[in-house]
Structure 1
Amino acid sequence: MSYVHHVAQFHGLPAFTFPPYADPTDLPDAGAVAWRLHCGPYSSDEEYESYWGRFTESVDLGGIRALVFGSPWYDGEGGSGLHELIDLAPRFTGLEALFLGDLEDEEAMISTIALDDLAELLETFPGLRELAVRGGDGLRFPVTGHEGLRVLRVESGGLPPAAAAQIAAASLPSLERLELWLGDEDYGGGTTAEDLAPLLAGTGKPALRHLGLQNGPHQDELAAALASAPVVRRLSSLSLSMGTLGDGGAEALLTGQSLGHLRELDLSHHFLSEDMMLRIWTELEPQGVRVDLTARNEEEDERFPELGTGPNRYVAVSE
């Protein structure tokens, strides 16, 4: 199962790729779609300066609500950043949502999609409501606060722990949904519960209703921390999917604070025993909690026998 694919819908709008070379006379209304900018990874394709110029001349920038950036802005080799967008910020008066790094596996490994410091971007667009980024290499989030952001999603095969800690510490009073793909240590990840302490304590994000700490190699540790974390009490949905959750972490969740107030608990892609899966269903489903336990995995006793690693688990998305 691939978790990394091109955006088909974003910010409640269908994605529409602005066509390279094509006559731009027959285009949708500016606010009716999420505009995807992608002009191909090959030298024979239109250069991005020409592509960007045609886009800004053909579309009412003030009416655009959502933008999705693919190649070459983010292409696994550093991309060109978002300087063009920031420079034209006074014209993007209606911009509410940004997706950075919309590339599939065939275009760039997720661990090589280079990101950057997002502070200038968020400062430039105080009206931004949704921000999604794919990648992680070089990501920094030294943002003390942003009043308007409601959704933040980071899809990564290796989210730098320092960036995760910055996100956890940021004051985001309007944030309702936070999803972090933490990723493998071998690809720059390895975030621990200690890195996320302000988030788990429930500080700085009073409106948070959905929390996803996903694709992590330390899911049992995170589950144990969430078992008593104040932030859980205000959530309506929680996800520990795509990671290495085992019976120990599930036991901590079930014996910790009540989860009966949750509408959804997503534990898909896990390493739970069948007995533990049955126990989770038996205890939580009668309380009205919809539990996702799909994609069960078995520990591979000799995944890398030459390294002597022994039994191990793995995240869903790494390289």
Structure 2
Amino acid sequence: MINGFTESFAGLPVFDITEESEFTGLPDPASVAWRLRIDDYVEAFEPFETLFAGFLEHVDTARVRALIFGNWGPTYEVTSTRPLALLTDAAVRFPDLKAFFLGEYLQEESEISWIMHGDITTLFTAFEGLEEVVVRGGSDLALEPLKAPALKSLRFEAGGLPGRVVRAVAASELPALESLELWLGVDDYGGDTTVPDLAGILSGERLPSLRALGIQNSDFQDPIAAAVAGAPVVARLEALSLSMGSLTDTGAEALLSGQPLGHLARLDLHHHYMSTPMMARVVAALPGVAVDVADQNDAEDEWRFVEVSE
């Protein structure tokens, strides 16, 4: 996912705008997801500012529904607060914005842990109609508890997701949220989330519409699986993902010994450390569920890695 550009976002094909764009032959503003990015490696933020100014000048942004901010320059020096401020300061120009992806850097452009952020709460206060948000990178990321009545899908992609962000999500009022995906990452890259931080999410009390939950990319996936096994929110889910992490037979056993999971349409456990017999047990125990146990790592390996960290 972090090695290639997304070709569609929010149900729309992606249309690239780079510093080489001449703003001619543009598509209908509402028919595409617009991606703004600097195509070459640069040491400054000013080219992205110029690019955004050109976008405002040549595109009827009142009809833009989906927007992606990719490479805005050196992420280890220029935090996302600067490109985000460009957007929020122009919020009146984007009355129909429904989906936003912040930080679509490919791995060849920047390691995910090098994407520096700040407090992104202003995104949600400036655009109360947002229905889908994706944030890539977790370094210095901050968020205050939200009231986001329209938000349906929220995904944080990180090699280390700060616990304060998870706690903020858990304390938010998100009545329409249907899909939540958290890449927790590892402590070495700022991933200091703990199982208690997840309590508000796993209770489901503030998430009445949640149908898909991913708590992924964690080096403590077994304790997470044990917590999920008894979590009230699971009973209403259609899809559950504990993928990309260090899940072992211990965590899988906790899942199988917990509440029934046969109501799920999908259970994603890919990238794991389960033994082959346990993989077979999980699949056999859930005959009506699409179970993904691909990407098996050596269950005997004492060094266990998440799928995405640095």
Regarding TM over 0.5, the answer is yes
Give the aligned partner of residue 180 of structure 1: 182
1:174-206 deviations in whole A, cap 9, x for unaligned?
000000000011111142221111111112110
Give the Cα separation in 1 of the matches to 2:71 and 2:146.
30
Give the Cα separation in 2 of the matches to 1:300 and 1:112.
31
Give the aligned partner of residue 52 of structure 2: 52
Give the secondary structure class of the aligned counterpart of 2:233.
helix
Matched, 1:105 2:107: yes
Comparing 130-139 with 64-73, greater Cα deviation is found at: 64-73
TM-score by length of 2: 0.95
Distance 1:63 1:13, change over 3 A: same
Give the Cα separation in 2 of the matches to 1:136 and 1:6.
19
1:102-158 deviations in whole A, cap 9, x for unaligned?
001111110110122121110110100000000001111212321110000000000
Percent of aligned pairs sharing the same letter: 47
Contact preservation (8 Å) 1:182, 1:216: yes
Shift of 1:98: 0.3
> After superposition, where does 1:58-73 map in structure 2 within 5 Å?
58-72=58-72
Give the aligned partner of residue 279 of structure 2: 277
Question: Match of 1:315, as an amino acid?
Answer: V
TM-score by length of 1: 0.92
Distance 1:82 1:162, change over 3 A: same
> After superposition, where does 1:141-290 map in structure 2 within 5 Å?
141-285=143-287, 288-290=288-290
Comparing 190-199 with 74-83, greater Cα deviation is found at: 74-83
Give the aligned partner of residue 10 of structure 1: 9
Give the Cα separation in 2 of the matches to 1:32 and 1:74.
30
Contact preservation (8 Å) 1:236, 1:264: yes
Contact preservation (8 Å) 2:71, 2:105: yes
Give the aligned partner of residue 303 of structure 2: 312
Question: Match of 1:103, as an amino acid?
Answer: Y
Comparing 135-144 with 147-156, greater Cα deviation is found at: 135-144
Shift of 1:4: 4.2
Can you give the 5+ residue segments of structure 2 that lack an aligned partner in the other structure?
A: none
Q: CA RMSD in A?
A: 1.7
Contact preservation (8 Å) 2:63, 2:96: yes
Give the Cα separation in 1 of the matches to 2:141 and 2:224.
22
Matched, 1:27 2:18: no
Contact preservation (8 Å) 1:16, 1:36: yes
Give the aligned partner of residue 35 of structure 2: 36
Question: Match of 1:261, as an amino acid?
Answer: H
Give the secondary structure class of the aligned counterpart of 1:215.
strand
Give the Cα separation in 1 of the matches to 2:300 and 2:250.
18
Distance 1:245 1:3, change over 3 A: farther
Give the Cα separation in 2 of the matches to 1:74 and 1:211.
32
Matched positions, count = 307
Contact preservation (8 Å) 2:43, 2:74: no
Give the Cα separation in 2 of the matches to 1:50 and 1:267.
43
Give the secondary structure class of the aligned counterpart of 1:141.
coil
Shift of 1:227: 0.7
> After superposition, where does 1:77-116 map in structure 2 within 5 Å?
77-79=77-79, 80-116=82-118
Question: Match of 1:314, as an amino acid?
Answer: F
Give the secondary structure class of the aligned counterpart of 1:195.
helix
1:75-113 deviations in whole A, cap 9, x for unaligned?
343343311111111110110000000001111110110
Give the Cα separation in 2 of the matches to 1:137 and 1:172.
24
Give the secondary structure class of the aligned counterpart of 1:194.
helix
1:274-311 deviations in whole A, cap 9, x for unaligned?
110111111102xx11100000001574xxxxxxxxx1
Contact preservation (8 Å) 2:43, 2:73: no
Give the Cα separation in 2 of the matches to 1:4 and 1:169.
32
Question: Match of 1:120, as an amino acid?
Answer: T
Contact preservation (8 Å) 1:260, 1:289: yes
Contact preservation (8 Å) 1:117, 1:139: yes
Comparing 31-40 with 228-237, greater Cα deviation is found at: 31-40
